[in-house]
């Protein structure tokens, strides 16, 4: 029997990420030798600046993790414009323990594949300058690296991006001591999902506090691991945005409602939860969906949120897309076996077109809202000749 594809309702309402969609037992095979692995590759960023990144382990003693009962801890990758990346190790898409956990979810179907390397140089010296800061939250049962294509693109054009894993809600989170925490599925009720999004929003606020320490020259990493040279003073925390895919989009909206430091946000195809749905925002917000989701007509959380947006707001659509077309999964899908590809919800849009269109739209929004650069390509009006895949829905 072929694997069963999740329904649109379970996919959107639960914010289901790629890893969950792939958690289907397939034939188990023995691990392949490293030399025999088929490489999966991701395209590099197109901006003029090389990209560096540093991983942080942050522990919040003021909060108790609702799943573990211990102080809440998160893993974060901070990606930024770098001075020089030559002769430096590029971070893997997933560290080794998390990669093994993810492959186990495939039941052996991708054991013969090497997950990609990023184009982010580990702890490369930071390029001088005050940079706008973006917080990123991934989808439910997804990982913070699943939007690497977008994150590296933003950094290559001058942004600092802090991508956050939310342990027990994200798919697999590896800590510096080798522990790998995997997702604990919620009960799919609105109450459980709202509670999870509230935890995510608190995580993002805590990370923003840690970024302030980083900008002052402190080291918020729990193990005090070395930081990149030159990062101090480069984070402009008066220009902060948030964006996320699926449940991460809900967290982005909610953190804006709860924390006035976050000035603009994007929800990439996610249902919304929490008080922001009924109260809305006085700040710029972009919704992006697919025809499968059709958020303003088929997602009960989008219309009330939309009615209560009182600043710049727009709803755009990625044509011929499915839920994971906003993530790296759209580029991974053509490189894996057909039985796996069928589970990836990547749509029929060509991968290179999806990646280019999402990158350009997200950057155009933050360029406008955080940097004051006009949308000269008319992307945010769904009228770009260069990116016809971006459609205007409302605004």
Rounded to whole angstroms, the Cα distance separating 245 from 39 reads 25
pLDDT of residue 188: 82
User: In a 3-state reduction of DSSP, which class is residue 159?
Assistant: coil
User: In a 3-state reduction of DSSP, which class is residue 181?
Assistant: strand
pLDDT of residue 34: 60
Quote the CATH superfamily of domain 8-394: Alpha/Beta hydrolase fold, catalytic domain (3.40.50.1820)
Number of neighbours of residue 229 by Cβ within 10 angstroms: 12
pLDDT of residue 35: 65
Q: Choose among 141, 163, 183, 104: nearest CA to 15.
A: 141
pLDDT of residue 45: 98
pLDDT of residue 21: 38
pLDDT of residue 17: 42
Q: Which residues pair with 90 in a beta bridge?
A: 121
Q: Which residues pair with 141 in a beta bridge?
A: none
What's the DSSP call for residue 125?
Answer: P
Concatenated DSSP letters of 256-313: HHH-TTEEEEEEES----STHHHH-BSS-EEEEE-TTT-HHHH-TTHHHHHHTB-SSE
What's the DSSP call for residue 82?
Answer: B
pLDDT of residue 179: 96
**Torsion sign across C-alpha atoms 12, 394, 327, 83:** negative
In the numeric block, the tokens 């053509």 are attached to 334
Q: What's the token pair of residue 121?
A: 């140089």
Each residue's pLDDT, cut to its tens digit, for the chain (395 residues) gives 222 233 333 334 343 344 333 332 222 334 445 668 999 999 999 999 999 999 999 999 999 999 999 999 999 999 999 998 988 999 999 999 999 999 998 888 999 999 999 999 999 999 999 999 999 999 999 999 999 999 999 999 999 999 999 999 999 999 999 999 999 998 889 999 999 999 999 999 999 999 999 999 999 999 999 999 999 999 999 999 999 999 999 999 999 999 999 999 999 999 999 999 999 999 999 999 999 999 999 999 999 999 999 999 999 999 999 999 999 999 999 999 888 888 899 999 999 999 999 999 999 999 999 999 999 999 999 999 999 999 999 99
pLDDT of residue 341: 87
Rounded to whole angstroms, the Cα distance separating 352 from 334 reads 11
pLDDT of residue 339: 86
Rounded to whole angstroms, the Cα distance separating 16 from 6 reads 9
Asked if residue 138 lies in contact with residue 147, where contact means CB atoms within 8 angstroms, the answer is yes
């Amino acid at each position: 029997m072929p694997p069963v594809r999740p329904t649109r309702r379970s996919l959107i309402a639960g914010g289901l990420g790629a890893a969950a969609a792939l958690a289907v037992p397939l034939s188990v095979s023995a691990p392949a030798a490293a030399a025999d692995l088929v490489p999966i590759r991701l395209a590099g960023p197109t901006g003029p600046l090389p990209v560096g990144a540093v991983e942080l382990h942050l522990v919040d003693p003021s909060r108790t993790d609702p799943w573990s009962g211990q102080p809440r801890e998160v893993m974060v990758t901070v990606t930024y414009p770098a001075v020089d990346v030559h002769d430096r190790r590029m971070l893997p898409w997933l560290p080794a323990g998390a990669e093994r956990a993810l492959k186990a979810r495939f039941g052996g179907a991708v054991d013969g594949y090497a997950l990609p390397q990023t184009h982010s140089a580990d702890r490369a010296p930071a390029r001088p300058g005050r940079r706008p800061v973006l917080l990123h939250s991934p989808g439910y049962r997804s990982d913070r690296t699943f939007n690497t294509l977008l994150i590296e693109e933003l950094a290559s054009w001058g942004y600092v991006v802090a991508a956050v894993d939310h342990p027990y809600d994200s798919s697999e989170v590896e800590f510096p001591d080798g522990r790998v925490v995997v997702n604990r599925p919620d009960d799919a009720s609105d109450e459980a999902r709202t509670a999870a999004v509230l935890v995510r929003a608190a995580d993002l606020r805590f990370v923003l506090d840690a970024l302030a320490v980083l900008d002052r020259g402190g080291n918020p990493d729990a193990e005090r691991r070395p930081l990149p040279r030159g990062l101090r003073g480069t984070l402009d925390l008066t220009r902060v945005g948030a964006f996320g895919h699926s449940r991460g989009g809900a967290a982005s909206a909610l953190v804006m409602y709860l924390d006035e430091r976050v000035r603009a946000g994007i929800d990439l195809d996610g249902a919304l939860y929490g008080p922001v749905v009924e109260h809305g925002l006085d700040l710029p917000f972009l919704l992006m969906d697919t025809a499968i989701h059709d958020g303003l007509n088929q997602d009960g959380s989008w219309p009330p949120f939309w009615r209560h947006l009182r600043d710049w707001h727009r709803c755009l659509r990625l044509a011929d897309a499915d839920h994971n077309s906003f993530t790296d999964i759209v580029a991974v899908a053509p490189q894996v076996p057909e039985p796996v590809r069928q589970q990836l919800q990547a749509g029929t849009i060509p991968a290179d077109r999806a990646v280019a269109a999402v990158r350009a739209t997200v950057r155009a929004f933050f360029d406008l809202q955080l940097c004051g650069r006009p949308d000269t390509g008319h992307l945010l009006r769904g009228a770009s000749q260069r990116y016809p895949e971006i459609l205007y829905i409302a605004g």
